[in-house]
Structure 1
Amino acid sequence: MDASLYKDVLTSRGLKYHYYFSTPRGSKPTLLFCHGFPSTSRDWRKEALYFQDQGYGIVVPDMLGYGGTDKPTDPALYVLSLMSDDLIDILNAEKLDRVVAIGHDWGSRSISGLAQYYPQRVIAYAFFAVPYVQPRFISPSVDFSQVLADMRKQYGYELFGYWLFFSEDNVNTIIQSHIDSLISLLFSDKPEVKKTHFAPIGALKASLLEDFSSPLASYFTEDDKRAFKEVFSSNGFDAPACWYKVLTRQLQSKDDESTFFKISLATHELTVSTCTTEVPDERAYPPSTAPIFFGAAKQDVVCLPENGYRTFSQEAFKDHDITTHEYDADHWLILSNADEINSDLGAWLDNVVYKASV
């Protein structure tokens, strides 16, 4: 993306965010793209540039801990209420009233925060690989080890076992010494490798220490590999790992509880319990007036499509206008299936979002 279109803003809590911005043409809305782990704004380039050419406004931040944005290593700074404030500071800097929020991976968690804290600033939501993330989706009353045990019982392996490695204090030291191995695991041409060498408890750390290697997927080019190594060899993983530590150390659930939510986790399923304050229950979900797009990755063995479908089949979503597409792709569908995604998102924006916004 054009380096001259990147800007910096100092948020209200004193953190610098680096973001790409292109103004809309005519009456087109602005699209806010939020990336996940471990990525930068570059991962959205195929979608952002396509819609920029179509006249849409574009905002693509390097999320907290990544790229040109500040990289604090205190996990408490990564709670959703504060990061939602950061995103609103960016929108305010560009005098943007409302946007279409689009997220991939933990970017879906970021735009979920906008639904919870600033629903009036979002026209519609698009989630890729990871669906809407409810407040306190991991409750402090449930031991995370039990969550993992329940996952192993149901799926045959712990979907989130790798969270424990990313929550270790020496994670950056290990990754920096084995970064090629990490790349081959993240972007392998065999998605099922993650079932044995990435997701289960202890598997990722062991694979890295053994310098496990797998051929790279065709969508992940030599330029992609070079850019990944350049960014993360320089910036490290201590800050990005905070996206996991904030959850495993229960800082996020405390943040949710201190606002207005009480969500419990029964085995692996997410269910809403009673609110802790006199705030309407519907604030735990996006407003029903906001259309939702969910792009599932058929070959994703961690963020399983079935769990995304289960999320949006909850009673709380019965009045929402939900558009679902499943892509024959692994977790990195925004890289591998960008043309298809652009076509589907474009149709959704034209036929669903436009009608909801007028």
Structure 2
Amino acid sequence: MLPTSGYKDIITKRGYKYHYYYVPAQGSKKTLLFSHGFPSTSQDWSRLVPHFEKQGYGIIVPDNLGYGGTDKPLDPAEYKGTLLAKDLIDIVDAEKVDKVIAIGHDWGSLIVARLASVAPERIFAYAFMAVSYSAPNPDYDFEAILKAQKEIFGYELFGYQKYLAEDTTAAVLEANWDTVFGIFWPEDPLVWRTDFAPLGALEAAIKEGKKRPLPSYLTEEDKKRMTKALFAGGLAAPTSYYKVQVRELDRDDERTIPKELYYPPTSSPIFFAATDKDFICLPSVQKAQLLNDNFKNHDVTIVDYDSSHWVLLSHAEELGKDLDKWLARIIPEY
């Protein structure tokens, strides 16, 4: 657990309160900014942060908008990627940090990616867990993507997003949480292929009401803690991330981004942790987003993990060591 004594609050320029864990850097050490996804809080990084904190790194770990001690607006338009990225820069500004190494997981990876569009001068390097870099796409067509995924992979990778984006779904998740927990954090990663990803699968699995065992990387105490943190504010706000995606609310916002800010500067190294047992964020698809001409002049490091989507929980020690190697290479004074 990240100690509660290390948390602070800030009001961003948008007027939202953000709750975040903060440790100042020692000497010339860089500051690491961690951004979590769904359904998580800053505590999801608690197995990785101490490794870097002991080495003197500065640490910033916010509860992203909709989670934990941070405000939870219910208007999905407040969760556009560029807005969330600017919120994180407000935190960085408040701590008077010049540049950070931004590290994201799941939806947190999208926020980290948008930092390249709204404040590339503030990011020294980028690291992505499970979800790779995603460039702005003002022509995003959710239904067309589902159709293409079904044709290529045999099932819709993002079919569950349509269900999570419905206004009534949050209440259903909360009312059936024991079942939902076993789907979101399954012992067998293949559950995501059968009972989560495809269109209609998540809703059907919840109605079935099957209870599943916890994965090896979580205890009953972990489940109680995570549940308490998520239920404190409910799941209506967190599901807004999916409403933005499915309802294509980012389109107009992303049209304002100049093409030259679609990708990080070539001077910013990139690390990607590919999760080989992830049946939604398929490693082949995620790697392809970094192994194309848009990144041919970038310093890209890709490491594969025998892990489900939740690599930061199941493989924290291994991940920490690999990030150490990467940091030692990209930071001269490391």
Fold-level similarity (TM above 0.5)? yes
What's the counterpart of residue 196 of structure 1? 194
Question: Could you tell me whether the CA contact under 8 Å between 2:16 and 2:71 is conserved in 1?
Answer: yes
Task: Quote how far apart the aligned CAs of 1:139 are.
Answer: 2.3
Which amino acid is the alignment partner of residue 102 of structure 1? I
**1:187 maps to which of 185, 188, 202:** 185
What's the counterpart of residue 83 of structure 1? 84
1:61 aligns with 2:62: yes
Q: Deviations over 1:39-60 (max 9, x none)?
A: 0000001111110011100000
Consecutive unaligned residues of structure 1, counting only runs of 5 or more, are 261-278
1:139 aligns with 2:148: no
What's the counterpart of residue 153 of structure 2? 155
- More off after superposition, 69-78 vs 221-230: 221-230
SS in 1 for 2:279: coil
What's the counterpart of residue 35 of structure 1? 36
What's the counterpart of residue 23 of structure 1? 24
Which amino acid is the alignment partner of residue 296 of structure 2? K
Task: Quote how far apart the aligned CAs of 1:207 are.
Answer: 0.9
1:87-236 matched pairs, under 5 angstroms: 87-136=88-137, 139-140=139-140, 142=141, 144-236=142-234
Q: Deviations over 1:273-332 (max 9, x none)?
A: xxxxxx4x3310011000000000010000010011110111010000011100000000
Which amino acid is the alignment partner of residue 158 of structure 2? F
CA distance in 2, matches of 1:86, 1:233: 23
Q: Deviations over 1:141-179 (max 9, x none)?
A: x3x223212111111111000001111011121011100
Which amino acid is the alignment partner of residue 19 of structure 1? Y
SS in 2 for 1:58: strand
What's the counterpart of residue 272 of structure 2? 294
Q: Deviations over 1:10-43 (max 9, x none)?
A: 0011000000000111111000000000000000
- More off after superposition, 223-232 vs 325-334: 223-232
Task: Quote how far apart the aligned CAs of 1:133 are.
Answer: 1.0
Task: Quote how far apart the aligned CAs of 1:119 are.
Answer: 0.2
SS in 2 for 1:84: helix
Question: Could you tell me whether the CA contact under 8 Å between 1:174 and 1:209 is conserved in 2?
Answer: no
Task: Quote how far apart the aligned CAs of 1:208 are.
Answer: 1.0
Consecutive unaligned residues of structure 2, counting only runs of 5 or more, are none
What's the counterpart of residue 338 of structure 1? 316
CA RMSD of aligned residues (A): 1.3
CA distance in 1, matches of 2:194, 2:82: 35
What's the counterpart of residue 240 of structure 2? 242
Question: Could you tell me whether the CA contact under 8 Å between 1:124 and 1:292 is conserved in 2?
Answer: yes
Task: Quote how far apart the aligned CAs of 1:232 are.
Answer: 2.2
CA distance in 2, matches of 1:292, 1:173: 38
What's the counterpart of residue 263 of structure 1? none
CA distance in 1, matches of 2:128, 2:216: 24
Give the TM-score normalised by the residue count of structure 2. Answer: 0.97
CA distance in 1, matches of 2:125, 2:83: 21
Q: List, as ranges, runs of 4+ consecutive aligned residues in structure 1 with deviation greater than 4 Å.
A: none
Task: Quote how far apart the aligned CAs of 1:249 are.
Answer: 1.1
1:235-314 matched pairs, under 5 angstroms: 235-257=233-255, 259-260=256-257, 279=258, 281-314=259-292
Q: Deviations over 1:235-275 (max 9, x none)?
A: 21110001010111111112101x13xxxxxxxxxxxxxxx
Task: Quote how far apart the aligned CAs of 1:72 are.
Answer: 0.4
Question: Could you tell me whether the CA contact under 8 Å between 1:247 and 1:253 is conserved in 2?
Answer: no
CA distance in 2, matches of 1:145, 1:318: 30
SS in 2 for 1:329: coil
Which amino acid is the alignment partner of residue 237 of structure 1? L
Give the TM-score normalised by the residue count of structure 1. Answer: 0.91
SS in 1 for 2:250: helix
Task: Quote how far apart the aligned CAs of 1:234 are.
Answer: 2.5
Q: Deviations over 1:43-97 (max 9, x none)?
A: 0011111100111000000000000000001000011221121111100110011
Q: Deviations over 1:323-349 (max 9, x none)?
A: 110000000000000000000001111
Question: Could you tell me whether the CA contact under 8 Å between 1:34 and 1:103 is conserved in 2?
Answer: yes
